[in-house]
Structure 1
Amino acid sequence: MSLSRSQPNTTTTETILPGPPSRNNFSSLDLSSSNLLAFPSGSSISIVDALSLQLISTFPLPPPHSSTSSPALSPFITSVRFTPSPLNRNLLSTEPSSSHLLLAAADRHGRIALLDFRLKSVVLWLEPDPNPKSGIQDLCWILSRSDSYALAAISGPSSLSLYTTSGAAATSTASNCCFFKYEASPEFLSCIRRDPFDSRHFCVIGLKGLLLSVKVLAESENDVVVKEFKIPTDYSDLLRLEKDVAPSGGGVGGSLAPASAVFPLYSVKLAFSPQWRNILFVTFPRELVVFDLKYKTVLFSAALPRGCGKFLDVLPDPNNELLYCAHLDGKLSIWRRKEGEQVHVMCAMEELMPSIGTSVPSPSVLAVAICQSESTLQHVAKICSDAPDSPSAEVDFDNPFDFCDDSVHSTTHMISISDDGKVWNWLLTAEGTGDNLKDTVADSHEIPLIGDNANAVAVTDGLGKESRKQQEFGSGNKNRLPSTLSQDLSFRISLVGQLQLLSSTVTMLAVPSPSLIATLARGGSYPAVAVPLVALGTQCGTIDVVDVSANAVAASFSVHNSTVRGLRWLGNSRLVSFSYNQVSEKNGGYNNRLVVTCLRSGLNRPFRVLQKPERAPIRALRTSSSGRYLLILFRDAPVEVWAMTKTPIMLRSLALPFTVLEWTLPTVPRPVQNGPSKQVLWSSKDQTPVAQDGASTAKEPASESKAGSSDASQDDTAESFAFALVNGALGVFEVHGRRIRDFRPKWPSSSFVSSDGLITAMAYRLPHVVMGDRIWEHTVVGCNNWTFFII
């Protein structure tokens, strides 16, 4: 393995809108102490401000070299980790080592990169070996020296490696870049977590209960101390999954894939207690375990509560004796520690995926994180409020650092991401009466024991001594326990923010075309302005409307239950889309679904609803520039012409052998000759020029000018579309209200003779038509045959 530096990327990535994260990204997420949220989406990494939920940047990881990667694996990013805050940073320096935005990222090809989002470049590459490499399961920064951190990584199913990322490593050889390796086979290693009390110490948990306690004293193999523990747990479900995977994957034991790739729904996570040294919280799919590293024993275990899905992750509260456990079904269970014991009782159950307003089937919660910055401010406020000389606090609503509310004990911000491209910001509030909170103040030397259980008494006594040391270290000589909770607390969770990214893989794209006809159809006298919106149809059936200028999803609509196969704009405020599904392969038949979506009201109105399947699926849609008319093209079936009123009406069915149909492009209004700031709109009836500000340029009463505009909006709404037939003939249909008038087809000049005689591309703007065939010349860029024709 070698280490290499990458040059800064000069190409802009500000206009990249990321897609949704998935389980192929191993539910990776990291939240820095400065509220910067990083999570992977496919092969890209997104940085989001966790408080304002603003997308800051998106960085695509460069693809691997074809000679060193397996073609069967996509370069999904599987782990991201911000560098720890104690690193030296100078905001004015351009050196990578002093950047304030360094991030470690790993992917399914086993590559590890150190990224600088400020410079938009890869600072360091840990290139894989030439042979196909197993993917990375998890990453974690570990303090290896007083001024540098090493990077711990789980590669493949059971390999633990430590890499140096210091400046001296850039000139080192490949042999000492990775200074430590450990193989835990046949265990599947799941995640790595660093000890909050000792940054040199970290733990690794396996799916079957193997626990590794590792301490790094220096960047050498002899200075790494590893201890193995075993947490007893029931992993019979894992054995059944191994049997199911073995026949298709050629055996689990010989697989190089990480644990999350082989068992995506079997999650085992680990977390250190921020209040108690040597205490670990471990969640297996059906069990919550509290483990003591010092006494090498399980202090408490609880089975999965009824009515909720398997455990996904465990998150200890930074300031209070609370545990937050995320579940696969989107629920959040809250556990409170009993006073004097390491016994936790579930006291509340909340939802991280609202059942109202979500699509069916419901999206899945992939990862959850706790904002540390607000917890730090609350911790400082509690310390200041405990000071003996502090004045009596009064509520100041203008002071953001005022937490003196007797009814609110604590507030915690949580960030969750789901596989439909949403980032959720939750506010979890613990409430209780002031008297109950005062009763929780106790002497740290008076910790009650468990009771009759002799083994538990011995363990608790040890924990009590450890607690006294930690309390003296954290708050001096104070006897207050700020993390002790009242039993009368109630919890309430509120959604305070949401960021919508692309909801699924994009299958269709549609751009609105502002036109003079669309403006007059609405009854206005101003030409339509360019709308910076793009509609995207997705694989999951949703339609995302993207604001291009803001590089953000402005709205998302759940429209279809299957892939969106066609999407068009109806003017500037409505969308028409279609999807279909085949009834049966033996008998044939298709269920076509057409829906009109209003962007202003958010309503979806299906039309052309049939009771029986049709023999032909919809092939494409063509909408006029004003949005008044729609062409529905079928596969081997007549074309239908529809008037898109409030209740769409079919005007005519055209049973002609079309090869291509296109509506006329919108006309461009000519500017005023005397003034550059105005445009003149000509009424077709009286030929009176009307200024863009609505006043008549001629010396006529204002009422006559308005009448002319009204007549134009009602009568001058004819639109036409050009078509080509299989014999090469060209024709035009004109639609005026509910009447359709056709012109006699014309033939292009003899110079346009394609090898197969089919016109497959066309653009139409009165009175010209540009056409092309399906033959593409590879030697010369361009179409083999094309012509410019006048109707």
Structure 2
Amino acid sequence: GWQGLIAYGCHSLVLVVDANTAQTLQVLERHKASVVKVKWAKENYHHNIGSPYSLRLASADVTGKIIVWDVATGTARCEIQEHAKPIQDMQWLWNQDASRDLLLAVHPPNYIVLWNADTGTKLWKKSYAENILSFSFDPFDPSHLALLTSEGIVFISDFSPSKAPASSGKKVYISSPHSSPSHNKLAAATGAKKALDKVKILISNEKPSAESVTLNDCLQLSYLPSKRNYMLLLYPREILILDLEVNQTVGVIAIERTGVPFLQVIPCFQRDGLFCLHENGCITLRVRRSNSSITGTPNEEPDPDPVQELIYDLRSQCDAIRVTKTVRPFSMVCCPVNENSAALIVSDGRVMIWELKSSISGRNLRNSSSSASPLYSPVSFCGIPVGAFQNKLPDLSLDNMIGQGTIAGEEQLKSSFLQEVHLKFLLTGLLSGLPLPPFVIRMCPPLTTKNIKQYEPILAVGTSNGSVLVFHLTSGLLHKELSIHSCEVKGIEWISLTGFISFATSTPNNLGLVRNELQLVDLPTGRSIAFRGERGNDEPAIEMIKVSHLKQYLAVVFKDKPLEIWDVRTCTLLREMSKNFPTATALEWSPSHNLKSLRKKQLAAREAMARQTVASDTEVSSVESSVISLLQEAESKSELSQNISAREHFVFTGADGQVYHLTVEGNSVKDSARIPPDGSMGSITCIAWKGDILVLGDVDGNLNFWDLKARVSRGIPTHRSWVKKIRFAPGKGNQKLLAMYNDGAEIWDSKEVQMVSSLRSGRNVNFRILDVDWCTSDKVVLASDDGCIRVLDLSMKPSCFRMDEQDLIEPAWCPYLLVPRASLALKAFLLHQPWNEKYSLDIINIDYPENENIKNLLQEQLNSLSNDIKKLLLDPDFTLLQRCLLVARLYGDESELHFWTIAAHYLHSISQEKPAKPRDTAILQEQLVNPLDICYDILCENYYFQKFQLERVNLQEVKRSTYDHTRKCADQLLLLGQTDRAVQLLLETSSENAHYYCDSLKACLVTTVTSSGPSQSTIKLVATNMIANGKLAEGVQLLCLIDKAADACRYLQTYGEWNRAAWLAKVRLSSEECADVLKRWVDHLCSPQVNQKSKAILVLLSLGCFTKVAEMLHSMRYFDRAALFVEACLKYGAFERNDDTNILSLKSWFCMCANTQSLKLLGFKQGAILFASKAGEAGKELLIELKQPKEEVTQE
């Protein structure tokens, strides 16, 4: 998303990951079924306190439910449900002038529904004839939309938020690339290449014959955001680029026979490039080769063999992953702000973040480089030309890494500061998920007052492939992965904060015997040793292991074999029970032991020894001295082993339900008591013991609470079948008990013998629980069969957390997480610090009357910026405009990014033009090398726009295959003023064609039109009659023939063809006439029924109407943007100086902007005072007001 975060669906959860630090920031749990689509809201609007930076995300699942989230708080804003089938596709509307909350979704099989995603209201619904698979919005025109259906493509041209499309769209069919004739002709002689290029038409209005319909292999359809009216279709083995003006393929990216098929493609906006994901997990970047051989010089003999199609060269690729049955790439996303990093999600839960890095190569590499033309570094950085190349600038975004590549080679070589660049992918982030279930989990020993210094909350997870994963539970990050077993891990017991024992059993052989593996692992070093030495081959399976309370002894329980007692410290076997000893069904160590009394004895001995050394020998009797010598011996021994062996007890139950009590001390194991079975209980499956309370669970779901002190027992039937595990919560006096069953879990209070909460599979959750444990005294951790591990509170209800309450290992830059006031204050601080001599990134010393807490949060955000960014922000030569652009990128603010890109471009080029009347050629040269990118379409310079349109029509002409296409090309050439080539095309019409006579006469007319005045007036009369009688396009052509393009534009606008009029004005009119046409268009865009003011502002910027832009920003209440823009204009001298009143009024706005934005809302007093002082007369009252004590201002 524009917010800089990655969201992905995982089973019924939605995870949110920070791309820079590769940390999971949020997990959203509310869906009951698998999530199939996640989409971040757009940020294409002006942000202020009323519409702040907020993290909004829509997710959809297989049952047709859409949830819109407020990600920061983890709450659902609304839930949407129309049908009960999986959502096929959904997108937020990108034009957010009217509303920022609109979401379009495809509800199977054939409905599109527009929702208000803030309230969950349905605005309209529309059905189509075929099943809809996906759709794509036209990034240049919000009223255009294309649906990919099971039969072809449906183009909708009357999309509007206010009402459903009236028409059912224009339907076109695709013949699959593999059945199109071009593929069958590949074997022909080389001369067939030209014919092949002409035959490859893939879109037609006729339904293709049955055998050629294999649309199902079309994986994706997308408009290209880098240039208008192009679309790509993705097939497993090729990508087709279509020119929608003529519905024809103008480029094919095919994979060689041995190559790896495509899965997904993401077209770029800033450059004509494609990020492609292949089936082996490899991401490749392809960039269009610049076609410098096409020259757009009018009426010249065309190149005998011009570029036949758009060619995309492979520029970079990342490493593939190892694909297996269970491991394959799922999907890729690309950062929409900078387009220089991509993330890949793999089916095993890994998220890999790849960043594109550029390196400047030496000139000598030119000769060795492949057939692809070289890529050059860009000529401008953040909108301002870089001049003779400074030190290498950071790779901010794709357009800062590679130049436009649209300029012919000679011109590029003339401008000396271009350097050739190479691109490569670097893996900068990796998040690993959990492997496939089943798991066993065990939390490390609990936090106590003694271990508080070295305690870390870590969870060990044993997996089916024999490895143990150790997770840091607060951050959810993988701490270590240890491959220690060769088969499925069945249980883990911690023996200290940094060591555990785990056991695994292989699958049984035909005698029912297995290989048991019992490993002792030291976490800091990762060293593991076989705990039972050589034992373990061909014996009954280990059922469970239990470590004693003081971590001295280990009991190992087998399936059909008596238990073993081991000493954990020395790894020695203390006792293997005899053959006739009963097999244990459940076992638990007692929390009581004699360590305290032993310690007391040890202290007494030490004191006695001290007494002995002080007193004289005569006073000591012989008896005492012998005792002391024994104690000294014991003391020295215990110091050698550093351990006193305390006495510990355990109880276990036999198959008959009898409870046995045993004592272990040193290396002796004594049988001490037996308690007869309780008749009300079935076979005992588990025991838990804490303090004076002992709890038993059985196969029938009964829990039996024994109070050992009061000598009473109480049985509770839970009616939940087999009790698989019971465990007491840690913490002194905490008698909560966690019980796990086949179908869920419960928490009990053993003091009151009452159930606290319950979780049941199929009732309140959809997953089955595999294992449970306590992670703190009031939180439990569950492992479930959907492959997730969840931490829940005592209510066991799934709940999301607030992101700002989370402790991250590494601070992440995300201003969206701050409260609205704080995120806007941080933005103001980064943008402009007029009160400082030089820029600073230290906000603590600023006079900013917010509480210290917020200041600290802001400082944390500033500290988390990368060093490259900090360097730029502190650079005194980094101009205000560049700063605005950089901050727009940092905030992922789409509306600001487009505004400042265009403002920076035109403010710079206009300030260059002013002093340069004599040196016109130099200026023109710079503009040639550095025009505004073509992705801004109608906002580009006229000469560059014309050049692009000529190249486009050249390509269309080369690709002609039917009469219709030829006619469209001839029409375009006439509008572009390329009369000679148009005549050639008109004369190609064959004599059998119905249009033969008409086209021949038209050719004669075009060649003779330049003659007398009377003929012109006749043509004008005919043209106006044609337009009046509904033949708009024909009339406009005639007007263009007699150089009356301005009239033609007026007619097009009258008939509502605003885009066409703007296009014609750009390619045919002088700059003054063109500006008139575009200004009329601006008025139209601002009208309430159209309401595209943000587009209107950009058009005004491209015309250089800066005063008008400032006025409009002010009238739209974009005060912060207006203030910065006026400041930038004054720096560039873009306002006419002689217009004093004008400047004064602007200055008075300055103070308004300062007042509203900086003072009232954000509390930056120093900045406000400075702005007010700039405002001259108008600012005087304000200054007085600002310098008053704070209370009065707040009252007012």
| Change beyond 3 A, Cα 1:570–1:118 | same
Name the CA distance, whole Å, in 2 between partners of 1:413 and 1:430: 12
| Change beyond 3 A, Cα 1:733–1:587 | closer
Local SS of the residue matching 1:682: helix
Match of 1:662 in 2: 588
Name the CA distance, whole Å, in 1 between partners of 2:508 and 2:655: 30
- Which of 311, 330, 335 pairs up with 1:366? 330
Residue 545 (str. 1) matches residue 470 (str. 2):
yes
Match of 1:253 in 2: none
Match of 2:139 in 1: 196
Name the CA distance, whole Å, in 1 between partners of 2:220 and 2:574: 58
| Change beyond 3 A, Cα 1:224–1:527 | same
- Which of 326, 343, 357 pairs up with 2:311? 343
CA contact (8 A) 2:503 2:518 kept: yes
Match of 1:300 in 2: 251
- Which of 347, 350, 363 pairs up with 1:422? 350
Match of 1:284 in 2: 235
Match of 2:282 in 1: 331
CA contact (8 A) 2:265 2:274 kept: yes
- Which of 709, 724, 737 pairs up with 2:653? 724
CA contact (8 A) 1:624 1:630 kept: yes
Q: Write out per-residue CA displacement over residues 231-289 of structure 1, whole angstroms, 9 at most, x where no aligned residue.
A: 443689xxxxxxxxxxxxxxxxxxxxxxxxxxxx9882344433222223333223232
Name the CA distance, whole Å, in 2 between partners of 1:597 and 1:698: 44
CA RMSD, 1 decimal: 4.9
| Change beyond 3 A, Cα 1:745–1:494 | same
Name the CA distance, whole Å, in 2 between partners of 1:292 and 1:772: 74
Shift of 1:101: 1.9
CA contact (8 A) 1:278 1:292 kept: yes
CA contact (8 A) 1:89 1:100 kept: no
Name the CA distance, whole Å, in 2 between partners of 1:107 and 1:195: 26
Q: Please list every run of 5 or more consecutive structure 1 residues that lacks an aligned counterpart in the other structure.
A: 1-31, 64-74, 237-264, 376-411, 445-470, 520-524, 671-679, 691-695
Residue 713 (str. 1) matches residue 611 (str. 2):
no
Q: What TM-score, normalized by structure 2, do the two folds share?
A: 0.44
Shift of 1:42: 1.6
Pick 1 or 2: higher relative contact order, CA cutoff 8 A, min separation 6.
2
CA contact (8 A) 1:685 1:708 kept: no
1:752-791 paired onto structure 2 within 5 Å: 753-756=678-681, 758-764=683-689, 770-774=694-698, 783-784=703-704, 786-788=706-708
Match of 1:316 in 2: 267
Q: Write out per-residue CA displacement over residues 355-387 of structure 1, whole angstroms, 9 at most, x where no aligned residue.
A: 6xxx98774332222223344xxxxxxxxxxxx
Q: Write out per-residue CA displacement over residues 608-627 of structure 1, whole angstroms, 9 at most, x where no aligned residue.
A: 69899747433222223455
Match of 1:682 in 2: 599
Name the CA distance, whole Å, in 1 between partners of 2:378 and 2:447: 76
Name the CA distance, whole Å, in 2 between partners of 1:35 and 1:597: 40
Residue 184 (str. 1) matches residue 130 (str. 2):
yes
Shift of 1:114: 2.0
Structure 1 counterpart of 2:9, one-letter code: P
- Which of 441, 444, 450 pairs up with 1:509? 441
Q: What TM-score, normalized by structure 1, do the two folds share?
A: 0.63
- Which of 131, 144, 148 pairs up with 2:99? 148
Residue 84 (str. 1) matches residue 30 (str. 2):
no
Q: Write out per-residue CA displacement over residues 687-717 of structure 1, whole angstroms, 9 at most, x where no aligned residue.
A: 4699xxxxx99999xx999969735624436
Match of 1:494 in 2: 426
Match of 1:275 in 2: 226
Name the CA distance, whole Å, in 1 between partners of 2:452 and 2:104: 60
Shift of 1:642: 4.2
Local SS of the residue matching 1:755: coil
Residue 577 (str. 1) matches residue 520 (str. 2):
no
| Change beyond 3 A, Cα 1:310–1:283 | same
CA contact (8 A) 1:507 1:539 kept: yes
Q: Write out per-residue CA displacement over residues 391-422 of structure 1, whole angstroms, 9 at most, x where no aligned residue.
A: xxxxxxxxxxxxxxxxxxxxx22222223333
| Change beyond 3 A, Cα 1:299–1:564 | farther
1:66-465 paired onto structure 2 within 5 Å: 75-87=33-45, 90-91=48-49, 100-129=54-83, 133-143=84-94, 146-148=97-99, 150-156=102-108, 158-165=109-116, 177-185=123-131, 189=133, 191-205=134-148, 210=153, 216-223=159-166, 226-233=169-176, 268-305=219-256, 309-340=260-291, 341-351=309-319, 353=321, 363-375=327-339, 412-433=340-361, 435=363
Q: Write out per-residue CA displacement over residues 723-753 of structure 1, whole angstroms, 9 at most, x where no aligned residue.
A: 233345443445556x3422233326xxx72
| Change beyond 3 A, Cα 1:787–1:666 | closer
Name the CA distance, whole Å, in 2 between partners of 1:277 and 1:529: 60
CA contact (8 A) 1:773 1:785 kept: no
CA contact (8 A) 1:148 1:166 kept: no
Name the CA distance, whole Å, in 1 between partners of 2:255 and 2:637: 74
Shift of 1:78: 0.9
Shift of 1:39: 1.3
Shift of 1:46: 1.9
Structure 2 counterpart of 1:285, one-letter code: P
Identical-pair percentage: 21
Residue 638 (str. 1) matches residue 573 (str. 2):
no
Name the CA distance, whole Å, in 1 between partners of 2:235 and 2:419: 27
| Change beyond 3 A, Cα 1:307–1:643 | farther
Shift of 1:314: 1.1
Residue 61 (str. 1) matches residue 30 (str. 2):
yes
| Change beyond 3 A, Cα 1:333–1:611 | farther
CA contact (8 A) 1:143 1:200 kept: no
Name the CA distance, whole Å, in 2 between partners of 1:109 and 1:559: 41
Shift of 1:76: 0.8
Local SS of the residue matching 1:148: coil
| Change beyond 3 A, Cα 1:613–1:418 | same
Name the CA distance, whole Å, in 2 between partners of 1:789 and 1:442: 81
Match of 2:461 in 1: 536
Name the CA distance, whole Å, in 2 between partners of 1:684 and 1:267: 82
CA contact (8 A) 2:587 2:651 kept: yes
Q: Please list every run of 5 or more consecutive structure 2 residues that lacks an aligned counterpart in the other structure.
A: 180-215, 292-308, 367-372, 380-402, 615-631, 712-1196
Name the CA distance, whole Å, in 2 between partners of 1:276 and 1:650: 79
Larger helix proportion of the pair: 2
CA contact (8 A) 2:107 2:113 kept: no
Local SS of the residue matching 1:33: coil
Shift of 1:108: 0.6
- Which of 736, 741, 755 pairs up with 2:669? 741
Match of 1:10 in 2: none
Structure 1 counterpart of 2:356, one-letter code: L
| Change beyond 3 A, Cα 1:346–1:233 | farther
| Change beyond 3 A, Cα 1:598–1:414 | farther
Residue 623 (str. 1) matches residue 577 (str. 2):
no
CA contact (8 A) 2:130 2:151 kept: no
Name the CA distance, whole Å, in 2 between partners of 1:291 and 1:123: 39
CA contact (8 A) 2:328 2:346 kept: yes
Structure 2 counterpart of 1:682, one-letter code: R
| Change beyond 3 A, Cα 1:216–1:636 | same
Q: How many residues align?
A: 598
Name the CA distance, whole Å, in 1 between partners of 2:519 and 2:338: 45
Match of 1:457 in 2: none
Shift of 1:598: 3.7
| Change beyond 3 A, Cα 1:646–1:418 | farther
Q: Write out per-residue CA displacement over residues 456-486 of structure 1, whole angstroms, 9 at most, x where no aligned residue.
A: xxxxxxxxxxxxxxx99x99xxx989xxxx9
| Change beyond 3 A, Cα 1:50–1:161 | same
Local SS of the residue matching 2:680: coil
| Change beyond 3 A, Cα 1:443–1:550 | closer
